[in-house]
Structure 1
Amino acid sequence: MSKTAVSSLFFAITLLFTLPACNAQAVKMSKSGICHAPDSAHYQRTTNFTAYANLPNCLDAGGRLPKGYAQTNTQMTPNSNEYNRDDWAHWLDEDNDCQDTRAEVLIAQSQAQVSFNDPKQCRVTTGAWADPYSGKLFTNDDDLDIDHIVPLKFASEHGGAHWSHSEKARFANDMDNLLAVDNSLNRSKGAKGPTEWMPPKHEYRCEYLARFNAVMNKYRLSYTAQEQRTLTKMTSACS
């Protein structure tokens, strides 16, 4: 392998990205990961938050809308090929047991028995989660985001834009594509693929790449030619 190829490969698997700071009057992402736009009922009461320039940026960073907000406040564009996170219905309660996808991921991936904030056991609050991206152990769900290994926007841009709403919802709630991780790392990743972002824990990078590729194959998504060339080198390095 040439020095140029080695340098490119090293850059691809080590570079980390951070999200830009946002202006005042921006959308507020609460500690629990809910994106409150200025017209949200809880906007003024949300005082501990990360600011984003607009609602799409907040959602792309791993946030979610308040219950009912998408139906009453957000215009849907089902016939548009442009990415709209609202088309990818996620954190659903498909079995009607009051635990949405986020809760089910937290329960499944906790290394200890979880606790809930209500008698019905709907929302998980504490447990023991080993974040594979950082290697850190977390016990409070407020410190975690549920990461789509293959981000929703990435999937949309690599073949998923023309899927039906039900297909997009299946992808957005597929447990094979979900990990409980450090919320700051999830937000630094955003919608990036593995040629732009890799977990800071080096020991997990090859497994992360394998899981990313597995989801791409499962849903018949396609990399660009440039991405494929870089990923082929990265996969070979793992082998």
Structure 2
Amino acid sequence: MTRLRGGAVTAVAVLVTVTGCTADQTRGASGPQETGHGGAALAAAGSLTVKGRAPKTGYSRDRFGTAWADTDSNSCDTRDDILKRDLEDVKFTGGTCKVSYGLLESDPYSGKRITYRRGRSQVDIDHVVALSDAWQKGAKYWGPSKRIALANDPLNLIAVDASTNRGKGDGDAATWLPPAKAYRCTYVAAQVAVKKKYGLWVTAAEQAAMKKVLTGCPKQKLPTGGNPTKAPERFRAH
């Protein structure tokens, strides 16, 4: 039995492949909550629209609204929601929202054990599909509500080692994969799930990279769940 982030306990069968991938790990209650049938991730990767990357012209973080907006209206900002979901031994400041301390027992990107302390954190909340990448593959044509939703969707967010994450930049599967090979199947499946949910396209090189990873774990499931694809009307973006 393997204890997953969020407190759920499930049996995880290890898939021994040339890519070093393991079975899909479903994240906590505010993240992906269901999985599709075995092999759904590879099939979904093949179904994504393939187009060239659009210019980055016009992109800024502000296009996706204020960082960590409380789009699920639970009175906690999105960053703290993900910290609560992904860290162990969590401690709070002034209530049950602001996470002041926690442990990332095994960073999915590097495998390291990392201590989170508010204000001097070594933990980032990563957009699995980077916002700049999304902008160049469809999001520039969306209304603000959908962009805000993507930026705060738990399906697209994960707590990770900050130093490893900084090396990712706005890379897609063709240009960056987690150094921890055992996590690559889960990581790519999450990218596929986000792009499918929001109707983002992929480049030919990106789709080929996704298929290469997922072919090594052909039973990989497709994560689902997260928030609606439109944020409440009270939220604004430039």
Q: Please say whether Structure 1 and Structure 2 have the same fold, judged by a TM-score greater than 0.5.
A: yes
Task: Choose the corresponding residue for 1:192, options 150, 153, 171.
Answer: 171
Out of 211, 214, 218, the residue aligned to residue 193 of structure 2 is: 214
State the AA in 1 paired with 2:182.
E
Aligned amino acid, residue 98 of structure 2? R
Q: CA RMSD in A?
A: 2.3
Counterparts of 2:126 and 2:201, CA distance in 1: 20
Hey, what's the Cα distance between the residues in 1 that align with 2:205 and 2:171?
15
Which structure is higher in RCO with an 8 Å CA cutoff and minimum separation 6? 2
Which residue number corresponds to residue 182 of structure 2?
Answer: 203
The 5-angstrom pairing of residues 1-239 of structure 1 reads 82-89=58-65, 90-94=67-71, 98-112=75-89, 114-117=90-93, 119-129=94-104, 130-141=106-117, 142-239=121-218
Aligned residues: 161
The secondary structure found in structure 2 opposite 1:232 is: helix
Higher helix share: 1
Q: Per the alignment, do residues 232 and 97 of structure 1 end up closer, same or farther by CA in structure 2, a change over 3 Å counting?
A: closer
- Structure 1 unaligned segments of length 5 or more: list them: 1-9, 14-79
The CA deviation at 1:136 is 1.6
Contact 1:155 1:221 in 2 (8 A): yes
Corresponding residue for residue 49 of structure 2: none
What is residue 30 of structure 2 aligned with on the other side?
none
**Normalising by structure 2, what TM-score?**
0.62
Contact 1:81 1:161 in 2 (8 A): no
Q: Give the 3-state SS of the residue equivalent to 1:181 in structure 2.
A: strand
Q: Which has the larger radius of gyration?
A: 1
Could you tell which deviates more after superposition, 99-108 or 224-233?
A: 224-233
Deviations 1:14-70 (A, max 9, x none): xxxxxxxxxxxxxxxxxxxxxxxxxxxxxxxxxxxxxxxxxxxxxxxxxxxxxxxxx
Q: In 1, Cα distance between the equivalents of 2:87 and 2:113?
A: 10
Distance in 2 separating the partners of 1:236 and 1:122: 40
CA–CA distance in structure 2, aligned partners of residues 192 and 127 of structure 1: 28
Alignment-mate amino acid for residue 151 of structure 1: A
Q: Distance in 1 between matches of 2:73 and 2:175?
A: 38
